């Protein structure tokens, strides 16, 4: 079984914009590192490493001589990972990469103190298979650490326009999100609310000391929207709109909604609501009427690898 689904478009670089630099509060990561004793980690694997945003944040919190392996199915991302990590690791040989599928890792058993991933499992048809691999490559007593969201919440309109948008439109937008998410999972594109499922998955797979936290990062939009994080968020949204990617990928949304049990008529009406809301948001922003507390339900789920039965 592999998640290298050839019909799936590669996770392209349009998701690696500046907005990814504002996912975490750094003092929160310090707290997480303390809770999980990341300072004792000497070897780590970052599954679905992308261009290294997650590794770059975690690595400075590891033991000073730690090594890290970035694993991704896209060569372009692996190159980006090496580039980013070269400026961060203590020794040039401490960072390496493997091009592989998350559900079939060409790495030996019990070879890492830590296997981790950020915003990867939500893209996989078989997240349990990836977790099983993470467990296999981690030594007994080692840590598997996943940072995964519930992106459904982020797709719901919770901004200051909520009070003036007709309730029928809000309901249709919510139904759009539900049908899209259900259909996306049914089409094997992954589960957008995977963060909610992870604690149960960790339990089923036999992890010990399963712990669950939420990131404390809000992403407020407050006029005049001049912070670097606000500008990056607006730029990402504009980029997706112009490119027709992410939430603006109409073809993908339609296919998901239909697979989620919605009709063509429903999709057309809800898509029109979505574009209308997007226009209203942009107008409200340009006249400084938009505000929101923002943020994503971003879960951190950690578990220890149990002693494994001897291989006979």
Binding site for ligand SAM (CB under 6 A): 3-4, 11, 15, 20, 48-50, 53-54, 72-74, 77, 101-102, 118-120, 123-124
72 or 175: whose CB is closer to ligand SAM? 72
Please check whether residue 175 is in contact with residue 183, taking contact to mean a CB–CB distance below 8 angstroms.
Answer: no
Please check whether residue 176 is in contact with residue 279, taking contact to mean a CB–CB distance below 8 angstroms.
Answer: no
CB of 194 to ligand SAM, least distance (A): 12
Cα Dmax for the chain: 70
10 or 261: whose CB is closer to ligand SAM? 10
CB of 38 to ligand SAM, least distance (A): 16
CA distances from 116 to 22, 148, 220 (A): 19, 11, 28
- Hey, how many other C-beta atoms are within 10 angstroms of the C-beta on 216? 12
CB of 70 to ligand SAM, least distance (A): 9
8 or 222: whose CB is closer to ligand SAM? 8
Please check whether residue 194 is in contact with residue 121, taking contact to mean a CB–CB distance below 8 angstroms.
Answer: yes
Q: Which residue is nearest to ligand SAM (CB)?
A: 50
CB of 1 to ligand SAM, least distance (A): 11
41 or 45: whose CB is closer to ligand SAM? 45
CB of 282 to ligand SAM, least distance (A): 25
Tokens 């390496």 locate to 96
Tokens 């996306």 locate to 184
Pairing relationship of beta strands 138-150 and 112-118 according to DSSP bridges:
parallel
116 or 169: whose CB is closer to ligand SAM? 116
């Amino acid at each position: 079984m592999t998640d290298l689904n050839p019909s799936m478009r590669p996770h392209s670089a349009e998701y690696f914009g500046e907005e990814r630099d504002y996912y975490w509060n750094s003092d929160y990561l310090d707290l997480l590192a303390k809770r999980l004793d990341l300072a004792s980690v000497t070897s780590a694997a970052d599954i679905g490493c992308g261009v290294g945003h997650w590794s770059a944040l975690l690595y400075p919190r590891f033991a000073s001589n730690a090594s890290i392996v970035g694993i991704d199915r896209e060569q372009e991302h692996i190159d980006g990972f090496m580039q980013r990590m070269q400026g961060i690791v203590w020794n040039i040989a401490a960072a390496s990469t493997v091009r592989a599928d998350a559900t079939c890792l060409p790495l030996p058993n019990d070879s890492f103190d830590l296997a981790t991933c950020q915003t990867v499992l939500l893209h996989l048809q078989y997240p349990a298979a990836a977790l099983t691999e993470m467990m296999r490559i981690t030594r007994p007593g080692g840590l598997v650490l996943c940072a995964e969201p519930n992106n459904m919440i982020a797709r719901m309109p919770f901004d200051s326009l909520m009070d003036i948008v007709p309730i029928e439109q809000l309901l249709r937008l919510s139904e759009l999100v539900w049908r899209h998410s259900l259909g996306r999972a049914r089409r094997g594109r992954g589960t957008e609310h995977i963060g909610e499922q992870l604690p149960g998955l960790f339990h089923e797979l036999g992890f010990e000391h399963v712990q669950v936290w939420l990131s404390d990062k809000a992403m407020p939009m407050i006029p005049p929207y001049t912070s670097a994080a606000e500008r990056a968020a607006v730029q990402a949204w504009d980029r997706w709109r112009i490119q027709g990617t992410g939430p603006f990928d109409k073809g993908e949304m339609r296919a998901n909604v239909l697979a989620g049990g919605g009709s063509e008529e429903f999709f057309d009406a809800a898509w029109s609501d979505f574009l209308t809301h997007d226009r209203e948001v942009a107008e409200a922003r340009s006249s400084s009427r938009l505000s929101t507390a923002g943020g994503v339900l971003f879960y951190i789920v950690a578990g220890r690898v149990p002693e494994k039965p001897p291989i006979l």
